[in-house]
Structure 1
Amino acid sequence: METALTRLTGVEHPIVQTGMGWVSGPRLVSATARAGALGILASATMTTEQLRHAVREVRSRTDAPFGVNLRADAGDARERVRIIVEEGVRVASFALAPSRALVSELKDAGVVVIPSIGARRHAEKVAAWGADAVIVQGGEGGGHTGEVATTVLLPQVVDAVDIPVIAAGGFHDGRGLVAALAYGAAGIAMGTRFLLTSDSTVPDAVKARYLAATVRDITVTAAVDGLPHRMLRTDLVAALERYGRARALLHALRRAAGFRRLSGLSWAAMLRDGRAMRHGKDLSWSQVLLAANTPMLLKASMVEGRTDLGIMASGQVAGLIEDLPSCTELVDRVMREAGQALRALPPTAWSTGSPAP
């Protein structure tokens, strides 16, 4: 199935595996790439040295195109861009809107730039800066998300920009791919569905929690970091929502101490970052500290398997997923289902030549 996405990136199928912190590592990305889809390395939870090593590990496993996801607000974003360019990575995606300068630097080096956005105006902005495509995530998507459903946001963005649009939020099968194409998208991006594969390094106990979840077990809360965040509802999430300011601050300080040890940041640097994050937002200091060390909360579950101590970002679609295929099995299934869905569409007036009703 050839679309603007496959032509732009050189992949075989119009499917993207999104960059999920602690999840989208070399094993998952290389398995996705070998399956013919676009795998995206999540670099935000890596040091620059680890990023270069991860890129080279993927390269050692496959010759297929893949990408790297960046945080545009990272202090070392320019260094990460340099690694992408030097290592010959095909695609750069962004968790937040990139700066015009970063887009120009990447494009000048021949890297395909695909930011993720959650609003029409953001798509228009990055398109004007020269982005090659956009991933549009509706409110059904996991992690930080907006309030507008994919079925409303997607056609808005398709009508607003002249670059390929990739639909994200609520996709897990071939029917969804066909629906996205009907809206005018060039393909789909999936996070939770790729997290729940046999190639994902997420611990089995965590995968089991996802597979057991119904759509009602997936919630949006601002209790973790002050911003809408879609995740599995757990005892930890419920506790954070109940905490008063003092108890929340104590919890945040404990987590911040762990993040400081992992990241090597000083308390002064963390406070400096916290002030920047707090600017323009009505966040308590406990929320600021939790936002700064949300990676630790994700690591506890996605790496250490501690579902009691960590958070589990999740799209609503987790409530529909029941198995753990390999990436190859998943991509083959999605494409097979897409073909079946297209063939099952009823004959139309314009295809038979009869007058439209």
Structure 2
Amino acid sequence: METALTRLTGVRYPVVQTGMGWVAGPRLVSAAANAGALGILASATMSPDGLRAAVREVRARTDAPFGVNLRADAADARERVRIVIDEGVRVASFALAPSGDLIAELKDAGVVVIPSVGARRHAEKVAAWGADAVLVQGGEGGGHTGDVATTVLLPQVVDAVDVPVIAAGGFRDGRGLVAALALGAAGVAMGTRFLLTSDSTVPDAVKARYLAATVRDVTVTRAVDGLPHRMLRTDLVDSLERHGRARTLARAVRHAAAFRRLSGLSWRSMLRDGWAMRHGRELTWSQVLMAANTPMLLRASMVDGRTDLGVMASGQVAGAIDDLPSCAELLDRMMTEAAEVVAGLRREP
């Protein structure tokens, strides 16, 4: 299935595996890439040296194109961009809008730049700065999210920009892919669906919680880091929502210290990142510090398997997923179903 996305990135299928922290490591990324999707390595939870090692591990596992997800507001963003360029990574994706000079530096080196956006005006801005494509996530998507549904947001963005648009939020199968293409997208991006594959390194106990979830078990809360965050509703989420600010802040300080040790960042760098996160948003400094909860609470579940202590970012689509195929099985199934749907639409009534 050829689209503007496959032509731009060189992948076989117009499907992107998103860069989920602690989840999108070398094993999942290489499996997605070998299956024909665009695998995206999550770098925000890695040190620069860890990122370089992870890129090389993916390269050793696959000859297919893949990408790296970067935080544009990170204090060491330029160092990470240089790693992407030096290592010959095909695609750089961004969770927040990168500056025009970062986009130019990557494009000058032949790297495809795909920022993620949650609003039409953001898509217009990065497209004007030279982004090669945009990934637009509707409110159904997991992690930090907005409140406009994909079916409403996607056509707005498609009409507003002249670059390929990738749809995220609510996709899991071939029917969804065809629907996104009909709305003008060049492909779909999926996080939760790839998390729930046999190639994902997420512990079995955590996968079981996702598979048992209904659509109503996926909620949006500000209790973790002060920003709207879609995740599975658990006893921990209920507890965070009940506790007062002082107790939440104390928890945030502990997690910030733990993340600093794991990531190799200095306190100064973390404070710079906090300032960048606060800029342009109505966040108090206590909410900025609360954001330090996120990497460690995600790690507790996605790496350590602690469903009682960790948070589980999730798209609403988790409530409609009930199996754990390999990435290859998932992509084969999606493409077969998409072809069947298109053939059915073409039949005479």
**TM-score, length-scaled by structure 2:** 0.96
Q: Indicate if the aligned counterparts of 1:252 and 1:287 stay in contact, CA closer than 8 A.
A: no
Distance 1:136 1:305 in 2: 30
Distance 1:117 1:305 in 2: 30
Measured at CA, do residues 5 and 264 of structure 1 come closer, stay the same or move farther in structure 2, by a change above 3 Å? closer
Give the number of aligned pairs.
349
Secondary structure in structure 2 of the residue aligned to 1:189:
strand
Q: Which residue of 2 aligns with 1:122?
A: 122
5 Å-filtered alignment, 1:88-167, equals: 88-167=88-167
Distance 2:98 2:267 in 1: 27
Q: Indicate if the aligned counterparts of 1:167 and 1:180 stay in contact, CA closer than 8 A.
A: yes
Distance 1:265 1:62 in 2: 30
Q: Which residue of 2 aligns with 1:345?
A: 345
Distance 2:54 2:26 in 1: 6
5 Å-filtered alignment, 1:1-357, equals: 1-267=1-267, 269-271=269-271, 273-345=273-345, 347=347
Q: Which amino acid aligns with 1:85?
A: I
Secondary structure in structure 1 of the residue aligned to 2:297:
helix
Larger radius of gyration: 1
Q: Indicate if the aligned counterparts of 2:24 and 2:40 stay in contact, CA closer than 8 A.
A: yes
Q: Indicate if the aligned counterparts of 2:165 and 2:187 stay in contact, CA closer than 8 A.
A: yes
Distance 1:148 1:43 in 2: 27
Q: Deviations over 1:99-132 (max 9, x none)?
A: 0000000000011111111000010011101111
Q: Give the RMSD, CA atoms, in angstroms.
A: 1.5
Pairwise CA distance, 1:336: 0.5
Distance 1:272 1:333 in 2: 44
Q: Which residue of 2 aligns with 1:355?
A: none
Q: Indicate if the aligned counterparts of 2:253 and 2:292 stay in contact, CA closer than 8 A.
A: no
Measured at CA, do residues 167 and 268 of structure 1 come closer, stay the same or move farther in structure 2, by a change above 3 Å? closer
Q: Deviations over 1:35-68 (max 9, x none)?
A: 0110000011111111111111111111110001
Q: Using the TM superposition, name which of 75-84 and 245-254 deviates more.
A: 245-254
Pairwise CA distance, 1:265: 4.2
Distance 1:311 1:167 in 2: 25
Pairwise CA distance, 1:345: 1.5
Distance 1:264 1:72 in 2: 18
Q: Which residue of 2 aligns with 1:354?
A: none
Q: Using the TM superposition, name which of 278-287 and 158-167 deviates more.
A: 278-287
Pairwise CA distance, 1:281: 3.8
**TM-score, length-scaled by structure 1:** 0.94
Q: Indicate if the aligned counterparts of 1:248 and 1:286 stay in contact, CA closer than 8 A.
A: no
Q: Which amino acid aligns with 1:33?
A: A
Q: Which amino acid aligns with 1:116?
A: S
What are structure 1's unaligned runs of at least 5 residues? 350-357
Measured at CA, do residues 58 and 263 of structure 1 come closer, stay the same or move farther in structure 2, by a change above 3 Å? closer
What are structure 2's unaligned runs of at least 5 residues? none
Distance 2:102 2:164 in 1: 20
